[in-house]
């Protein structure tokens, strides 16, 4: 923590402009980073945070503007240049090599490192660095064997191995459990105390309040202001970001929960590695009910969701949708039967990255009129529907003819949820639907979910975000190692009780 005027600035960005296909992602942005500071960068989805970070990290070149590191002007041609100047970034989407070990990833691209350096030495260096900074990893493990949280540690260690003085963390906590975030914050504090500087991007305002010294807010690519964290409450920050007061919606207790819409009996599902990831789960979701599934990521969430929607075979057990046995139906037949799905990975699974937004919005309905007539696709139908849905679901940043992957994370999610809602499903299965979304987009998506519930849709909400689960669910189930280990009405749930169950402690056991 520093407010000492004599402290040199770690980084200074002045008048940064960056345009993508006519959209000003950064518009005359100014950003000052002090040494030893944790500096939060806030803004709605698409405000330009990742762009600014990527410019400082040498991934993008600004159209105009100046950058100084420790007082000296710099012009980075690549992330390599930036690292040489002590600036490194952990991207929203990781960039590790899955087939190499932790130690090999650490060494990868390191200038002046003897390539023949043996595995033992590398592993030892990785382990020591991990211990010093509270980021323990198994240095001999291959990246694909690690959880997302562990992969993130490797990304950070990689920067520390290069002795980066400025670390840019783009939404690091979006993929972490509350416990993992706590560990990361401790590391961040330690790094700041050593005199390193950290840029921290997050949509979770209580985290920003907790960990940062200073906040800069971007809106529509422009700097709208900065404030010392101590002088701002989370609700002030939200107002700076979206220009209005926000209140996250929560569910009202519902009187009329209908009959069973999704019935799951004793299902078993295997993981990619052939292990039994879902080990006999039985659950019901009723019409007009939201059932939340809490659990630490990696306890069978992925396999449960994919098993229910038909993307992964069940080894045994059965699934009924509105009284119809769908256990052996194809994905497409399940969609037709009324099964909606919002997966975890938006670009991998949910959307077709190379197609336009309009095409993506029609992706599940395109075989039917009005999109398809006499086996031909009708362009105007895609356009008209696209325009309507883009407005209805407040999807921002769409440029006609350009692929959807250019949208920011929050806007991708709004498109995905909107498309599922449009299919008028009977059952909706959602995984971490507001992960990485800004407060405004979170409000929009939560409202969508609650509206679906009002309409009688049975919602299965699989999330690692306890606040979200408690705000939206009528009933909560906790899963651990592929089994349901607890169930309760939301009224009886506390973060503590859920946390213990999530850690595998069964109730009633001494």
Ligand X SMILES: Nc1ncnc2c1ncn2[C@@H]1O[C@H](COP(=O)(O)OP(=O)(O)OP(=O)(O)O)[C@@H](O)[C@H]1O
> Where on the chain is the footprint of Mg ion (CB under 5 A)?
50
Q: How near is the Cβ of 220 to ligand X at its closest, in Å?
A: 9
Distances (CA, A) of 210 to 41, 114, 205, 215, 485: 14, 41, 9, 12, 32
Residue 46 binding: pick among ligand X, Mg ion, none (C-beta 5-8 Å cut-off by kind): ligand X
Listed ranges 49-57, 72-80, 119-127, 339-347: which one lies at the site for ligand X (CB under 6 A) = 49-57
Nearer to Mg ion, 168 or 450 (CB): 168
Any residues with CB less than 8 A from the CB of 430 and at least 6 apart, and which?
Answer: 341, 342, 417, 449, 459, 460, 461, 462, 463
Nearest by Cα to 38 from 223, 225, 169, 234 = 169
Q: Which helix (H) or strand (E) holds 102?
A: helix 102-107
Distance CA 358, CA 399 (A): 10
Q: From the CA atom positions of the chain, what is the Rg in Å?
A: 24
Under the binding rule (CB under 6 A), the answer on residue 21 touching ligand X is yes
Decide: is 79 part of the binding site for ligand X (CB under 6 A): no
25 touches ligand X (CB under 6 A) = yes
**Whole-angstrom distance, CA of residue 143 vs CA of residue 123:** 14
- Which partner from the list ligand X, Mg ion, none does 47 bind, CB cut-off 5 to 8 Å by kind? ligand X
Exactly one of 1, 17, 20, 268 binds ligand X (CB under 6 A); that residue is: 20
Q: Give least dist CB 458 to Mg ion, A.
A: 33
Residue 356 within binding range of ligand X, rule CB under 6 A: no
Part of the chain binding ligand X (CB under 6 A), chosen from 42-50, 80-88, 226-234, 304-312:
42-50
Distance (Å) of CA 108 to CA 100, 118, 165, 235? 10, 13, 19, 42
Residue placing its CB nearer to Mg ion in the complex, 50 or 173: 50
Q: Is 46 within 8 Å of 407 (Cβ atoms)?
A: yes
Cα angle 251-252-254, degrees, rounded to a multiple of 5: 110
Q: At closest approach, how far in Å is the CB of 215 from ligand X?
A: 14
Taking the complex as a whole, how short is the minimal distance between the CB of residue 203 and ligand X, in angstroms? 7
482 binds, among ligand X, Mg ion, none (CB under 5 to 8 A by kind): none
The tokens for 404 are 């959807």
Q: Among residues 10, 11, 40, 49, which is the contact residue for ligand X, using CB under 6 A? A: 49
Does 88 engage in binding with ligand X (CB under 6 A)? no
**Residue 125 near ligand X by CB under 6 A:** no
The answer to whether 277 touches 444, Cβ cutoff 8 Å, is: no
Task: Tell me how far, at minimum, the Cβ of 397 lies from ligand X, in Å.
Answer: 4
SS3 1: coil
Instruction: Judge contact between 295 and 464, C-beta under 8 A.
Output: yes
Q: Which is nearer to Mg ion, 50 or 490 (CB)?
A: 50
Please tell me whether residue 97 adopts helix, strand or coil conformation. Answer: coil
With CB under 6 A as the contact rule, the residue among 43, 130, 338, 340 that binds ligand X is 43
Select from 29, 40, 47, 427 the one that contacts ligand X (CB under 6 A). 47
**CA 510, CA 499: separation in Å to the nearest integer?**
17
Report the site for ligand X in 389-448 (rule: CB under 6 A).
397, 406-410, 438
Please state the closest distance from residue 202 (CB atom) to ligand X, in A: 9
Q: Which is nearer to ligand X, 146 or 395 (CB)?
A: 395
| Per-residue DSSP letter, 350 | I
Q: Which is nearer to ligand X, 21 or 111 (CB)?
A: 21
Q: Which residue among 38, 40, 45, 205 contacts ligand X (CB under 6 A)?
A: 45
Given ligand X, Mg ion, none, residue 51, with its beta carbon under 5 to 8 Å by kind, binds: ligand X
DSSP state of 464: S
In the bound complex, what is the minimum distance in angstroms from residue 229's beta carbon to ligand X? Answer: 19
Q: How many CA atoms lie within 13 A of 38 on its CB side?
A: 25
Q: Which residues of this chain interact with ligand X, rule CB under 6 A?
A: 20-21, 23, 25, 43, 45-51, 397, 406-410, 438
């Amino acid at each position: 923590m520093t407010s000492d005027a004599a402290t040199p600035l770690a980084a200074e960005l002045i008048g940064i402009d960056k345009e993508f296909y006519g959209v000003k992602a950064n518009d005359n942005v100014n950003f000052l980073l002090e040494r030893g500071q944790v500096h939060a960068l806030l803004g709605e989805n698409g405000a330009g945070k990742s762009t600014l970070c990527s410019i400082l990290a040498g991934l993008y070149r600004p159209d105009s503007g100046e950058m100084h590191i420790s007082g000296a002007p710099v012009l980075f041609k690549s992330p390599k240049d930036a690292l040489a100047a002590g600036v490194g970034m952990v991207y929203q989407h990781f960039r590790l090599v899955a087939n190499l070990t932790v130690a090999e990833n650490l060494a990868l691209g390191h200038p002046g490192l003897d390539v023949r350096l043996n595995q033992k030495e590398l592993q030892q260096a990785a382990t020591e660095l991990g211990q010093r900074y509270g980021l323990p990893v198994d240095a001999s493990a291959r990246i694909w064997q690690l959880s997302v949280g562990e992969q993130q540690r490797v990304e950070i260690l990689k920067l520390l191995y290069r002795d980066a003085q400025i670390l840019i963390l783009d939404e690091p906590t979006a993929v972490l459990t509350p416990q993992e975030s706590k560990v990361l914050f401790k590391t961040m504090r330690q790094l700041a105390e050593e005199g390193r500087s950290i840029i921290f991007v997050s949509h979770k305002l209580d985290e920003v309040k907790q960990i940062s010294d200073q906040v800069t807010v971007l809106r529509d690519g422009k700097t709208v202001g900065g404030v010392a964290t101590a002088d701002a409450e989370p609700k002030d920050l939200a107002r700076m970001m979206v220009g209005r007061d926000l209140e996250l919606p929560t569910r009202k207790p519902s009187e009329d929960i209908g009959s069973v819409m999704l019935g799951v009996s004793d299902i078993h599902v295997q993981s990619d590695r052939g292990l039994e990831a879902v080990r006999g789960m039985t659950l019901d979701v009723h019409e007009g009910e939201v059932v939340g599934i809490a659990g630490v990521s990696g306890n069978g969430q992925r396999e449960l969701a994919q098993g229910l929607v038909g993307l992964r075979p069940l080894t045994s057990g059965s699934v009924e949708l509105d009284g119809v046995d769908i256990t052996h139906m194809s994905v497409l037949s399940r969609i037709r039967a009324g099964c909606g799905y919002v997966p975890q990975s938006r670009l991998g699974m949910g959307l077709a990255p190379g197609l336009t937004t309009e095409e993506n919005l029609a992706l599940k309905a395109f075989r039917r009129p009005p999109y398809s007539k006499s086996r031909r696709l009708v362009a105007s139908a895609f356009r008209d529907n696209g325009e309507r849905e883009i407005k209805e679901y407040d999807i921002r940043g769409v440029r006609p003819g350009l692929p959807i992957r250019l949208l920011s994370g929050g806007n991708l999610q709004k498109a995905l949820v909107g498309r599922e809602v449009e299919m008028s499903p009977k059952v909706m299965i959602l995984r971490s639907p507001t992960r990485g979304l800004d407060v405004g987009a979170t409000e929009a998506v939560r409202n969508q979910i609650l509206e679906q519930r009002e309409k009688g849709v049975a919602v299965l909400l699989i999330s690692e975000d306890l606040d979200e689960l408690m705000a939206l669910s009528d009933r909560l189930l906790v899963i651990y190692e592929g089994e349901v280990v607890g169930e309760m009405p939301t009224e009886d749930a506390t973060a503590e009780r859920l946390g213990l169950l999530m850690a595998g402690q069964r109730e009633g056991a001494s």
